[in-house]
Chains A and B, each alone.
Chain A
Amino acid sequence: MENYISKYCIIKPNEVFVDGNLEFSNQEQDGFGAFMKSIYKHKEIKYPKYFKMDNLCKVAFIASEIILKGNEHIKELNPTKVGVILQNSHSSIDTDTKYNETIKDKSNYFPSPAVFVYTLPNVMIGEICIRNKFQGENTCFIAKEFNPEFISDYVNDLLDSGKLDACITGWSDYVDGEYNAMLFLVEKSKENKKDNISFKPEFINQLIK
């Protein structure tokens, strides 16, 4: 059985690609926070919790919102059969470093639970699950580089075994102002769909080139 990519989104510094087309770019070049906020506005996302998220969660969240737009049927599936499986390189090191600043100086010691909770890379998955009430398989893998072969093996297995009906998967990384997200919405194949892109490494590699 084949599983196909119903929508994908790539966020690079100052550019957003959706299904291969440049959908949005930032002429201002004014940094991550402003760029993300402009996509948030452009896409008419309304979710106040977004503003509490750390940068890793923000980039993953925005990409997930983009691929779910126009795919409202995903939210009607059994929530325990919709998974979120992501991979990244720098874990939560960006927020780890910020949190460490709050405990470094003993005369200025102010560890904050609101920052500490973001010192876990899988929280970006939790944020996407909370937003959409997805309750299926959720795992955060760490690798130096995005590994389409591994991710497609793992995710296709979850879909083929019946554990999942749909999965939001891919890569989301943020460290020190550098960021990159590549998110795919993967569903079980349906015969009436024409331009299906199979969720296989050779196709994934073409899409992210």
Chain B
Amino acid sequence: MTNIYTIADNIITSLGFTSKENFDALKQGKSGIKQTTDPKITQVPMCASIVDSERLVTEFSAIGNPEKYTRLEKMMILSITESLKQTNIDPTNEDTLFVFSSVKGNIDLIENENHPFEQDRINLWAISDQVCEFFNSSVKPIFISNACISGVSAIITAAQFLKNQKYKNAIVCGGDVISEFTPSGFQSFKAVSEEPCKPYDANRTGITLGEGVGSIILTTNEELVKEDRPVIFRGGSNSNDANHISGPSRTGDGLYYAINNTLKEANKTNTEIDYISGHGTATPYNDEMESKAITWAKLEHVPVNSLKSYWGHTLGAAGIIECVAGIHSIKENCLIKSLGYSEHGVSEPINVIKDFKETEVRNFLKTASGFGGSNVAAYFSELNSD
């Protein structure tokens, strides 16, 4: 069977511009969420995780003209550049596919009528056009907009195209930026927490929004693998609740099917999972539904966390940066504590990680759920770990 290796990654969030900076912060239990009263984002004080704009422009200036690109495009180009530094793959090669994920793309342009870009830049495909042109890619890119599961969907789609040998390498990049659009919408749903979000906790009161970009490079070419024990993508699947467009299933059936199909594809059972990187948005319904799906899959004993309390819900980036963090949990053999969790607040006895722990981690399951009733799961493990 063809192995799909993860060979490079990057995370850009409020916690830093590299995977290392971000993962070090997670290990220290340091959150990037801060209160903001920026009128361009919110009409009422709100917590959010915001990327340092000055640093973005400074770092971007070393590789391109920051005025030519939107805020999201700059982050994506920077993130991919950082990932590419870690490998020898050629982004211009016809064997290299680009897969993008974003929920709202350049939504900040819709709010600012005086932006300096062409009108069609508001389209999601315009973003992939810009980024692919920057890297002189010769291949038609794939763009996914699947609400909150977009990032994991993008990784699974990329893996599917590697598996059927259409391409040898895939550069997967996803992200979203915060403007007024998304916060106002979630506020209208009364789904935004006043304080930093507390996934799975009894006192959770909703989500904290964040912005950022993640990128990950996958390959089937063994020669590009530098590590002795690389992390490989083993399987992934998505499903629909078919229940409600803005509320998760009460039973967790959709997420359960996604987990079940993923484990089937990865040829794994419920006793072979070391860690679950949950979705954990900290809304009452989402976390409750997740606890039911995890328990239904007989995974309630497996340590689980949500990283949303570190960098907020970063929408199109979330699935990618949380998979990258999972890969680093394997590489550094540690479990990140689920920040904000102190009193168990879901009906099922899932095993939420209370304290940072150094322990052997050979694999993990990533899950996510979102508007439109979508659910997704993906499974990664170290080569030869079983």
* Chain A residues near B (Cβ < 8 Å): 79-80, 84, 89-91, 93, 96-97, 99-100, 103-104, 106, 109, 111-113, 116-117, 119-123, 125-127, 129-130, 132-144, 147, 150, 153-154, 157, 163
Q: A96 to B104: give the CA distance in the assembly, Å.
A: 9
B374 located at the interface, meaning its Cβ lies under 8 Å from any Cβ of chain A in the complex: yes
Contacts A103-B180, A123-B371; A142 near B240 (Cβ below 8 A): no
Q: Is the CB of B144 within 8 A of A142?
A: yes
Residue from B104, B189, B244 within 8 A of A113 (CB atoms) = B189
B253 located at the interface, meaning its Cβ lies under 8 Å from any Cβ of chain A in the complex: yes
CB neighbours (8 Å) of A80 from chain B are 239, 257, 261
CB neighbours (8 Å) of A157 from chain B are 160, 164
CB neighbours (8 Å) of A119 from chain B are 104, 181, 185
8 contacts between A and B (CB under 8 A): A119-B181, A120-B145, A123-B245, A126-B372, A137-B237, A142-B145, A143-B140, A163-B237
CB neighbours (8 Å) of A121 from chain B are 145
* A103, A116, A139, A154: residue with the most chain B Cβ atoms closer than 10 Å: A139
**Please, which residue of chain B has its CB at the minimum distance from the CB of A149?**
B140
Q: Is the CB of A127 within 8 A of B239?
A: no
CB neighbours (8 Å) of A116 from chain B are 184-186, 188-189
Q: Is the CB of A129 within 8 A of B242?
A: yes
Q: Which 3 A-B pairs have the closest CB atoms?
A: A126-B372, A116-B185, A111-B188
Contacts A139-B146, A142-B125; A154 near B107 (Cβ below 8 A): no
Q: A80 to B160: give the CA distance in the assembly, Å.
A: 19
CB neighbours (8 Å) of A113 from chain B are 185, 188-189, 246
Residue from B157, B244, B372 within 8 A of A125 (CB atoms) = B372
**Please, which residue of chain B has its CB at the minimum distance from the CB of A97?**
B110
B105 located at the interface, meaning its Cβ lies under 8 Å from any Cβ of chain A in the complex: yes
Contacts A89-B123, A89-B125, A100-B110; A125 near B143 (Cβ below 8 A): no
CB neighbours (8 Å) of A163 from chain B are 237, 261
Q: A143 to B125: give the CA distance in the assembly, Å.
A: 6
B14 located at the interface, meaning its Cβ lies under 8 Å from any Cβ of chain A in the complex: no
Nearest chain B CB to A187 CB, angstrom units: 19
Q: A133 to B129: give the CA distance in the assembly, Å.
A: 36
Q: Is the CB of A139 within 8 A of B187?
A: no
B211 located at the interface, meaning its Cβ lies under 8 Å from any Cβ of chain A in the complex: no
Residue from A89, A127, A133, A150 within 8 A of B245 (CB atoms) = A127
Q: A79 to B240: give the CA distance in the assembly, Å.
A: 10
Q: A154 to B261: give the CA distance in the assembly, Å.
A: 18
Q: Is the CB of A138 within 8 A of B145?
A: no
B43 located at the interface, meaning its Cβ lies under 8 Å from any Cβ of chain A in the complex: yes
B122 located at the interface, meaning its Cβ lies under 8 Å from any Cβ of chain A in the complex: yes
Query: Would you give the 0/1 interface string for B242-262, flagging 1 where the beta carbon is closer than 8 Å to chain A?
Result: 111110000001100100010
Q: A97 to B109: give the CA distance in the assembly, Å.
A: 11
Residue from A93, A100, A129 within 8 A of B123 (CB atoms) = A93
CB neighbours (8 Å) of B241 from chain A are 129, 135
Query: Would you give the 0/1 interface string for B295-306, flagging 1 where the beta carbon is closer than 8 Å to chain A?
Result: 000000000000
Residue from B145, B166, B181, B240 within 8 A of A153 (CB atoms) = B166
**Please, which residue of chain B has its CB at the minimum distance from the CB of A136?**
B239
Q: A138 to B374: give the CA distance in the assembly, Å.
A: 7
Residue from A79, A117, A120, A140 within 8 A of B144 (CB atoms) = A140
Nearest chain B CB to A163 CB, angstrom units: 7
Q: Is the CB of B107 within 8 A of A96?
A: yes
Give chain B interface residues in 109-152, CB to chain A under 8 Å.
110-111, 122-125, 129, 140, 142-147
Contacts A100-B111, A130-B242, A141-B143; A120 near B372 (Cβ below 8 A): yes
**Please, which residue of chain A has its CB at the minimum distance from the CB of B188?**
A111
Q: Is the CB of A103 within 8 A of B184?
A: yes
Q: Is the CB of B144 within 8 A of A84?
A: no
B220 located at the interface, meaning its Cβ lies under 8 Å from any Cβ of chain A in the complex: no
B373 located at the interface, meaning its Cβ lies under 8 Å from any Cβ of chain A in the complex: yes
B103 located at the interface, meaning its Cβ lies under 8 Å from any Cβ of chain A in the complex: yes
**Please, which residue of chain A has its CB at the minimum distance from the CB of B243?**
A130
* B239, B242, B257: residue with the most chain A Cβ atoms closer than 10 Å: B242
Q: A103 to B253: give the CA distance in the assembly, Å.
A: 36
Q: A122 to B316: give the CA distance in the assembly, Å.
A: 13
Q: Is the CB of B371 within 8 A of A125?
A: no
Residue from B144, B160, B181 within 8 A of A103 (CB atoms) = B181
Q: Is the CB of A134 within 8 A of B240?
A: yes
Residue from B103, B184, B371 within 8 A of A126 (CB atoms) = B371
